[in-house]
A and B are shown apart, each in its own frame.
Chain A
């Protein structure tokens, strides 16, 4: 193990390490802590310039206000409406493409695979005008499904990379054996490979959920109104209205950040497996 375990160090060093950990954490998360505290500060404190001193009270009403007086609840629902179909769609499609690319040695296999991988890395801007135009033409501008369809297609690239590598690592003898028994290809996919894919499905689901929930660019390009804008775009437009009302901006930020944070805490192991692209095992 590197570095040398702290337990082997001198008591003074161990003591120092125990202190350094929480101190470093507080410094590291300072912007987050500051915003979390500001979100609970009464507006009157901010008006009097009391930004960092003792708050005069805990103002849950900031949260009540953003949920009752602004459409933030609607924005959150819109986000869910985009995020959940995208997770299902992208994971479903990439299970199939990943299976095809991992199991069959057809001509052009590697080319198709690299197309998916490369497409995943392109800057969004090169897609922006045509995708927006297409969405308009299909009458899906400013709808959750217009946004979700694009996300499904784009995320399929990343998911295919992951699924294909995951299936490649499965024992191929399983598939060979099934073929000898005369099992059809579709049933091999459904009854043999799919049950083994659970960890990969979990990892990609949490990752895609986070990516899509946090997407801002496409939300801005493909949606407009309160009825379909996801939370990221919604928060940005609310920020424009709440000029310098930091207690509200902070509360909105915390609310917007909560779902992916919860997802991460609940599914930590899978999340990290996904992020390392399965390449760093």
Chain B
């Protein structure tokens, strides 16, 4: 065993160089398609550009400074989108308690329970386009079940997707369906790993029901809750698909959210306002950055604690 760890120069070099070689392809792709576009969008938000190049292939945008952002401040559609995003964020958080409730309901060992758990998880596996179509059918005026239900209760059916005051709530309900399923699966996995001896000890001390859940179980579910919050926030802010499928932002733009309004401005029928779209994206990015920083900070703390 005399050769020990050979630290000849070539071995040493190999070990300094190796990580960068392994990283190179992935980092290259990630830089080209993710990191650089972020910087590019930040810059573009200071320009007025229709997305075209002139015949020599030169960029045709004009620098306008903060004009796009100034316009945002007085743009009523932007304000609506921002408010709707807030509604999405707040109401999406309902996925946590409901998901936990379903997880607790399903955390049993009876025959066929595995199949039940998978079927409850179903909505998350389905594309949001399909979820949107399903709920559009559910909400459809005249024959949709929701319409019939409101008609039976109030005597007057509600076409929720055609009502500017209610439309966003209707879409959020559709979005919650898969989101609850995701949170449920996180909590089911978490419940599986709650320390049984602690539960037994708490039971001996007379804890049960809600008290048990709140004081004994929930603290142990913290990792699951953390991930659930993160994925729910991201889900809420990414709410493009459902809005696009169910209402295209309507009626009268009342169900727009930032992600959809940005798309409308940059690629929609209102013309190719790339710079203005980029400015909306930057605002959305800034909101998301608050949560991303929180996540990274928590990860960094966990890493240094190791």
What is A's interface to B at a CB cutoff of 8 Å?
Answer: 1-7, 17-18, 20-21, 24-25, 28-32, 34-35, 38, 49, 51-52, 93-94, 96-97, 99-101, 103-104, 106, 109-110, 112, 114-119, 121-134, 149-150, 152-154, 156-157, 160, 179-180, 182, 184-186, 189, 210, 213-214, 216-217, 220-221, 231-232, 235-236, 239, 244, 246, 249-250, 253, 256-257, 260-261, 263-265, 268, 272, 275-277, 279-281
Contact = CB atoms under 8 A, between A and B. Distances in A.
B73 interface: no
Task: Pick the 9 closest A-B CB pairs, nearest first.
Answer: A153-B33, A130-B37, A100-B22, A214-B127, A97-B26, A104-B19, A153-B29, A125-B281, A130-B40
Contact of B107 (A3, A32, A261): A3
Contacts of A210: 125
Contacts of A277: 227
A105 to B, nearest CB: 9
B295 interface: yes
Contacts of A250: 133, 137
B60 interface: no
B134 A31 contact: yes
B199 A2 contact: yes
A4 B285 CA distance: 44
Interface stretch (B87-95, B164-172, B238-246): B238-246
Contact of A118 (B20, B32, B138, B296): B296
Contacts of B19: 100-101, 103-104, 106, 109
A127 B284 contact: no
A130 B143 CA distance: 44
B277 interface: yes
A154 B226 CA distance: 23
- Looking at chain A's contact residues, the main secondary structure is helix
B189 A216 contact: no
A216 B107 contact: no
B292 A118 contact: yes
B86 interface: no
B64 interface: no
19 contacts: A18-B110, A34-B138, A35-B134, A96-B25, A104-B18, A122-B288, A123-B284, A123-B288, A128-B262, A129-B37, A156-B29, A214-B129, A216-B128, A216-B240, A217-B241, A257-B127, A261-B125, A264-B118, A280-B223
Contacts of B130: 235, 253, 256-257
Given A153-B33, A280-B190, 6 more contacts: A100-B23, A122-B292, A126-B41, A257-B125, A261-B122, A272-B189
A3 B213 CA distance: 9
A101 B303 CA distance: 13
B122 A119 contact: no
Nearest to B108: A6
B14 to A, nearest CB: 6
Contacts of A101: 19, 23
A131 B40 CA distance: 10
A30 B146 CA distance: 11
Interface in B83-121: 102, 104-105, 107-110, 113, 116, 118-121
B126 A260 contact: yes
Nearest to A36: B134
Interface residues of B, number: 107
A166 B215 CA distance: 31
Contact of A121 (B15, B108, B234, B277): B234
Contact of B241 (A160, A184, A216): A216
Given A119-B30, A216-B128, A236 B245 contact: yes
B22 A232 contact: no
Chain A CB count within 10 A is highest, among B113, B122, B267, B284, for B122
Given A29-B122, A131-B37, A235-B133, A275 B185 contact: yes
B295 A117 contact: yes
Contacts of B191: 1-2
A96 B22 contact: yes
B137 A25 contact: no
Interface in B266-306: 266-267, 274, 277-278, 280-282, 284-285, 288, 291-292, 295-296, 299-300, 303
A138 to B, nearest CB: 10
Contacts of A119: 30, 34-35, 38
Contacts of A130: 36-37, 40-41, 44
B129 A232 contact: yes
Nearest to A221: B267
A157 B126 contact: no
Contact of B14 (A52, A153, A185): A185
